[in-house]
Amino acid sequence: MVESNSLQSKKIRKFDLIVIGSGAGLEVASAAAQSGMKVAIVEKCKMGGTCLNRGCIPSKLLIHSADVAEILKTADLFGIHVEKFSVDFQNIVDRVNGIIDSDSDDIRKALSNSENPKLFPSECKFVDEKTLLVGEERISSNLILIAAGSRPAIPKMSGLEVTNYVTSDGALRLERQPRVLTIIGGGYIAAELGHFFGSLGTKINIIQKHKYLIPKEDQEISKKFTEIFSKKYNVYLQCIPELVTKKNGNFVISAKRSGATKYLEIESDQLLLATGRVPNSDTLNLSKTGVEVDEDGYIKVDKTLETSVKGIFALGDIIGRFQFRHSANLEAQYAYYNILNHKKKIPVDYSAMPHAIFSSPQVAGVGYTEQELKRITKKEYVKSIYRYIDTAMGKALDDREGFVKLLVSKENRKILGCHIIGSQASVLIHEVLVAIKSGDGTIDNIAKTVHVHPALSEVIVRAAVTT
């Protein structure tokens, strides 16, 4: 028996660090290898993770085409008359996929020729304490980083299992533009993809169970966004889809509005599920190595990103704190430091963690929403709202709906939150981020700063000086 165990142990390849996932985890693997550690990286899918292949980058490349189309549609407001334009949907998709596939393939080629980090292009699962089965090989390490991400959530709905629906993964690679698209879900994925397909001419239906679209935003932002989207598209609020069937090749969704007795029948030639994401922790057989997960399957980590097992860390979507690539990149920096300096670990500083929705209109935010300040905290605050149209550049852009909302502490003038809807919101938010992180973090740092006139950033300073 001892001899058998000895033979088995020789078959296990030892590494100083194993990284599962090639998104933000790839940065940690590369840095650790450069520091002299012997590193293994495991990735069963395309290199670069969700952001490069199925998320932020391809979606924003596609959305730029939608932004261009929307500019053309509204050009007459500015005295430019565009007779008509056509959409080459296949060319749009081919351009985007050509860019991201090339980048992903380049990463794989570079790692395939590398011994450190060593790439294992296979699915993996834990088979013992800190030991993974990767393909037909076993590898182990005292230090492991789990950065295996998440995947689209599939709701339980009768008839769904026999239909050829798409998720955000497949929607970005459709070869034919839908004539009519029904989206189940009303969060940021629905907002962005609704804008992409809708601006290119697809008729959009959105089925949302909540009272507003993008309901996690500040409520004044959610209300305004819902109002704008409802003018462009068919938005069914407080509506629950219960059955999907096929009729003459089309999807038919049977849904019921809150308080209604009759079902709505919503027909389209394509169905997109945008009902959130779930962590990939269930694919890893974590119980074999003792890593704990919460009731939703997210890996439990402490403030330093270490799991319930000493030496095993996790970051990104799979821990469920923030589902942004920029937050995963931040966590990667801390994970690398804490893995190498286990006796001097430091907690992740998530302060001023921003987000943006690249729809039309754009939305961006940081810090508390007003409803959170009322419900969760006891902080006394003042708020200020300033409209884009009341600035020179806002008039130039004819942005009549956009506004900036600032939430500021009554006690010390520190910025508690900022929420923006309108043109270039994803850019404008950065001035507020710097103000929160620098100096004393008060709104006065913005109010006292001279701004270029008539740049759009004047809407930020105008909101600041009125708090």
- CATH number of the domain that residue 397 is part of: 3.30.390.30
The verdict on 139 and 234 lying in the same domain is no
Q: How far apart are the first and last CA of the chain?
A: 75
The verdict on 35 and 115 lying in the same domain is yes
**pLDDT band at residue 47 under the 50/70/90 scheme:** confident
Residue 52 has a pLDDT of 61
Instruction: Using the structure block, give the residue that is written with the tokens 């037909």.
Output: 136
Under DSSP, the state recorded for 347 is -
Task: Give the range of the structural domain holding residue 218, as residue numbers without chain letter.
Answer: 160-275
Whether 352 maps to a domain, the answer reads no
Whether 171 maps to a domain, the answer reads yes
Length of the chain measured in residues: 467
Two structure tokens written together for 46? 């395309």
Whether 199 maps to a domain, the answer reads yes
Task: Look at residue 53 and tell me whether its pLDDT is greater than 60.
Answer: yes
- Quick one: which of 316, 293, 272 has its CA closest to 49? 316
Two structure tokens written together for 351? 């302060």
Catalytic residue among 64, 81, 195, 453: 453
Residue 51 has a pLDDT of 66
Q: pTM of this prediction?
A: 0.94
Percent above pLDDT 90 for the chain: 84
Query: What integer is the mean pLDDT of 249-273?
Result: 94
The verdict on 313 and 406 lying in the same domain is no
Tell me the C-alpha distance between 43 and 110, whole Å. Answer: 14
Tell me the C-alpha distance between 304 and 323, whole Å. Answer: 17
* CATH code for the domain in which residue 92 is found: 3.50.50.60
The verdict on 270 and 221 lying in the same domain is yes
Clarify whether 453 is annotated catalytic.
yes
Tell me the C-alpha distance between 111 and 65, whole Å. Answer: 32
Rounded to whole angstroms, what are the CA distances from 264 to 241, 246, 270?
A: 9, 15, 17
- Quick one: which of 366, 362, 365 has its CA closest to 423? 362
Residue 423 has a pLDDT of 98
Using CB atoms within 10 A of its CB, is residue 307 exposed (0-12), middle (13-18) or buried (19+)? buried
Under DSSP, the state recorded for 288 is G
Choosing from 275, 295, 328, the residue where a domain stops is 275
2 phi/psi in degrees, rounded to 5: -60, -40
311 phi/psi in degrees, rounded to 5: 95, -10
Task: Look at residue 256 and tell me whether its pLDDT is greater than 80.
Answer: yes
